[in-house]
Structure 1
Amino acid sequence: MTVADLLPWLTIPAAFALDAMLGDPRWLPHPVRWMGWTIAKAEPLCRKWIADERLAGLCFALGLIVGWWGLAALVVGVGWRLHGVIGFAVETVLLFYCLSARSLGQAAMAIHRSLAAGAVDQARSEVAMIVGRDVERYQAGDIARATVETVAENVVDGVLSPLFFAAIGGAPLAVAYKMVNTLDSMVGYKNPRYLLFGRAAARIDDASNFVPARLAALLIGLAARLCPGLDARRALVTAWREGSHHGSPNAGYPEAAFAGALGVCLNGPNYYHGVLVDKPYIGIGLGAVESAHIPLACCLMTRTALLGCGATWLGLVAAAIL
């Protein structure tokens, strides 16, 4: 077996290593920003061309997802045909853009530092950059809880789901998933503007994360054994017992596993765009979230991501051998 034969097997660990080293540097062009641009440009066109909002939203979502998958597949295919090293580089970079473990940890730790310094207003501004809820009235405990919840939920969106789809269909399918996730974050709201138009995007996102979210609970439980002071057994028990106690069919499982591992209560009612959403609590009977839980959550996220990368790579190797 030559080095060229090994290159396709190395794209996932190489992309993961790039994310661990670089995160999301501002100076690099990022496809997710381009995805956001195409979403913003395509929405008014679909609304104009198709009168039925549900049908318009479905065509809008499917067109963008398939279009980005096709573009990524074309670029990757051309790269591999030109040379193995070029194909490896292109696919690795595309998959790197789909991962966000380091940037998520950096954002969370910046909030932790602000809270530790007593700069609650600054921490409030920082948490507003990573959550979609109204945070104007949040105090230190609320900010810490929102941060931990975001770390827990995004370990799926930002790491495990992209790896899952990369294992199935390489970087192009991971790029397609990233468009699914971006669509949901931009139009998947239950408000008058997007209740019908964004429904397809939200449902596709739910379906895409169904398996990764449940695998995440197991990986988080295993990762908790690698973080001093966390409770692996309680993570698994809480995920099993309370994972379905969430408005989302998927977000509750990683959040419940984090709640159990950290020994804290998450979720609960929150305001979104001025509307109170009465979400159930997860981690019932456990303690309140404090700033000190943020580094522990980041530790848990990092180790979960490492296990996810390793499991994905081993799964590919096992599938090839069998």
Structure 2
Amino acid sequence: MARHLPPLNALRAFEAAARHLSFTKAAEELHVTQAAISHQVRALEEVLGVTLFRRFNRRLMLSDAGQQYLPQLSEAFDQIDAATQRLRSEEDHGILKVSVANSFAAKWLLPRMPRFYERHPDLDVQISASDRLTDFTREDIDMGIRYGRGHYPGLHVEMLMDDLVLPVCSPRLLEGPRPLRTPADLRYHTLLHDEVAQSGFPDWRQWLIEAGVTGVNPDRGPRYSHASLVIQAAIDGQGVALTRTSLVSLDIEAGRLISPFGPILSSNFACYVVAPPSHVGRPKVKAFRDWLFAQIAHERSGADGPHAG
């Protein structure tokens, strides 16, 4: 049902003037001029067709209509204010919703989340794992971690960390009748592929060229839809994966994977923390952002390892 309401500014001017019984104090509260308050009140009286104030030389009094109107109008503004405060509290301190690529969520973020909860036990995080880029204008997401070139128009963007690309495999592949000792030994082993690696990301063909290896078909071997699957296949001894250092650091530390040889390649891709500019100042967004960068700083220092707080 359509509401036929007077102009909001006029209502605010009347309500403040009626509470203070002063146009001057109402103007101070609303940060406008006394003339503006007077103009808004007269406009409201014209819209309503009633007189709201009885005006004297040095004082102001409410008319009968004004006395009847003020309590309900003040209550309505109080309800709007309370609803606004509840909404702001939810936005600032409710569940933090973070969009993260599947493999980064599984291999980097989730193993480190207990350290975040140690610092922020009252802040719950909902991790939305998807390789699709989030549309912040349509989706209820506070912030994201993206892997790419850093060009995300309309968003606040900070580079979290760069990444290197290296071959990894199970330590078991160093044994057996065809031990993996040098890049040339790859001809005897299965190459594992990430089929959704972004265009421009180093692949086996580029790596073999950099390694100076010939006689190895860079296209052979199984393909997987997520880097985390490629890594798990490598852990299981099914072949050799070419992947990002950020995704395998914990597996290497735990001895589940090794990097048998170089070269280690750089790329034009990195991990970025992104958020709409209006979200950046939210306490829960800032808390998570600050923890991410502190975590990276600890790991790079090598002082406390990847599980540092």
TM bin, normalised by shorter chain, reads: under 0.3
TM-score in terms of structure 2 length? 0.26
**Higher fraction of helix:** 1
**Higher fraction of strand:** 2
TM-score in terms of structure 1 length? 0.25
